[in-house]
Chain A
Amino acid sequence: MSRYIQNFLKFKPLLGELVARDIKIKYRRSVLGVLWTLLNPLCMMIILSVVFSNLFKFDIENFPLYILSGQVVFNFYSDATSGAMSAIIGSAALIKKVYVPKYLFVLSRVFSSTINLMASFTAMLIVMAATRTEMHWTAFLFPIPLILLVLFSLGIGLILAAVTVKFRDVIHLYGVFVTGLLYLTPVIYPMSILPDWLNKVVMLNPLTNIVMMFRDVMLNNSVFSLSSLLIAAVEAFVSMGIGLYVFYKNQDKFILNI
């Protein structure tokens, strides 16, 4: 165990550099630069709320924020897992030549998505201030659902990264899967419109629980129940456990397949 920790400490600077690289390259040569991490979710939100509050009317108070809060969570998940999925193949040139702990590539992608998550969360706070939405003390609990979300996504990302090295089909399949998942997560619709059987299916989606926890503390002035906290925590740790196991078992074979 201490060998792993030592190794991690040696390569900790690399993690920082990789995250910095991801961010730098994304916004290189753009005038507004890193400001885009903030502007992007803001613009998306405006479009979505215009479309959805005029086209489809759901009986939800403060609909733009309802969508935005769902988007913050779901976009992170989609961004982090898709990024992690291509992390190993994308770094093939490096992995073939230099010894680097391979999970670092996955970790760095998830971390740079986390930075985007914080930006879109800030954008959400700006919208809340602009629309004079009441802020409650429960909002201070926001790190709990978000941290669990990051852990959950990291686990899924590790699994995807390992599997993709062997089967490139996953890349194509996962794009479709994420789109489907978006509709199985109450991002743009309220749970109340779902028929009974569909409700059960949507509740099986781990993201649903996290989205609801996040909305509870941010918008509904309520604290999520202990049971949903436990479920989210268990899901996050199971995902991490499986992810680490799958990744660890396969990582020595990566080089033969990339």
Chain B
Amino acid sequence: MDRRTVVKVENVSMRFNLSSEKFDSFKEYIIKSIKNQVSYDEFWALKDVSFEVLQGDSLGLIGLNGSGKSTMLKTIAGVLKPTEGSVAVNGNVAPLIELGAGFDFDLTAKENVYLNGALLGYSRKMMEGYYNDIVEFSELHDFMDVPVKNFSSGMVSRLAFAIATIGTPDILIVDEVLSVGDFRFQQKCEERIHRMMDSGTTILFVSHSIEQVKSICNKIVWLEKGHLKRFGDALEICEEYSKCY
């Protein structure tokens, strides 16, 4: 089968300015720029990273804390623009980056379903079609009219996961979200991810649990301090990774 490239990351570098002195005020900024004291410590969160993901692949990103995994996902999701290089994404992205980011905690769960759906680009009408499925999956039948601020974190993540995985997005980004919820719900999420993979969704998956990565991914990107250390088949790299740490 000829599979098209869904995500193409080319020589991506991402620089952050860790401003040693942060100026929030205009006056300070002017004075400092006149005196030429505006100094930044540069920090490259990603340096010259390239890889490709084909349709139907599930790519795991592994690496220690601060190796640039989340930055990588954010550039793919379009939240960050890379300083150098380019990211081409072919299809619509459903980001799961940190569950519940799109919630307004004063609104009820039901209202949040529509708000969050709209954030992912679904109209109210489409969301009405998915609504029952969302309630069903998140098991929150009795709580849909309760403001989300009264939810427990488990409930929030259940609802958010249910919303983010509606329909069949071309690309699903999963960033350490399976660590929430109880064991049973984690299983349910994994099942759903597998089902989406079967229907052709490309998964980008970040986790510190090498077991989860093994069970879900077939390709791996191993980042170390912003550099691409390895890119290739999952099994091989997983083994190497486990040996390394």
Residues in A lying within 8 Å of B, measured CB to CB: 10-14, 16-18, 21, 24-25, 28, 93-100, 167-170, 252, 255-256
> B25 at the A/B interface (Cβ < 8 Å)?
yes
A10 to B118, CA, bound (A): 9
Q: Which residues in B have some Cβ–Cβ distance to A below 8 Å? A: 16-17, 24-27, 29, 77-81, 93, 95, 97-98, 101-102, 104, 106-107, 111, 114-115, 117-119, 121-124
In this complex, what residue of A is CB-closest to B81? A252
Query: Which residue on chain A has the smallest CB distance to residue B15?
Result: A256
A24 touches B111 (CB 8 A): yes
Residues of B within 8 A of A96 (CB): 79, 101
Chain A residue nearest in CB terms to B127: A13
Assess the B24–A255 pair: CB atoms within 8 A. no
Known: A10-B121, A12-B123, A13-B117. 12 other contacts (CB 8 A): A11-B118, A24-B107, A25-B104, A25-B106, A96-B79, A97-B97, A98-B97, A98-B101, A100-B119, A169-B25, A169-B27, A256-B16
Residues on A with C-beta less than 8 A from B104 are 21, 25
Across-interface contacts of A100 in B (CB, < 8 A) = 119
Q: Are B102 and A98 in contact, CB atoms less than 8 angstroms apart?
A: yes
The CA of A41 and the CA of B117, in the complex, are separated in Å by: 34
Q: Which residue of B lies closest to A96 (CB)?
A: B79
Are the C-beta atoms of A13 and B81 separated by less than 8 Å?
Answer: no
Tell me whether B124 and A13 are in contact (CB under 8 A). yes
Q: What is the minimal beta-carbon distance from A229 to any residue of chain B, in angstroms?
A: 36
The answer to whether A99 and B79 touch across the interface, beta carbons within 8 angstroms, is: yes
> A95 vs B124: C-alpha distance in the bound complex, in angstroms?
21
User: How far is B17's CA from A17's CA once the two chains are assembled, in angstroms?
Assistant: 35
Report B116 CB to chain A, min CB distance, Å. 9
21 contacts between A and B (CB under 8 A): A10-B121, A14-B118, A14-B121, A16-B118, A16-B124, A17-B118, A17-B124, A18-B115, A21-B107, A21-B111, A24-B107, A24-B111, A25-B107, A28-B106, A94-B102, A97-B79, A99-B78, A99-B93, A169-B24, A169-B27, A256-B17
Q: Are B111 and A98 in contact (CB under 8 A)?
A: no
Instruction: Answer whether A93 and B101 are a contact pair too, CB < 8 Å, given A25-B107, A167-B25.
Output: yes
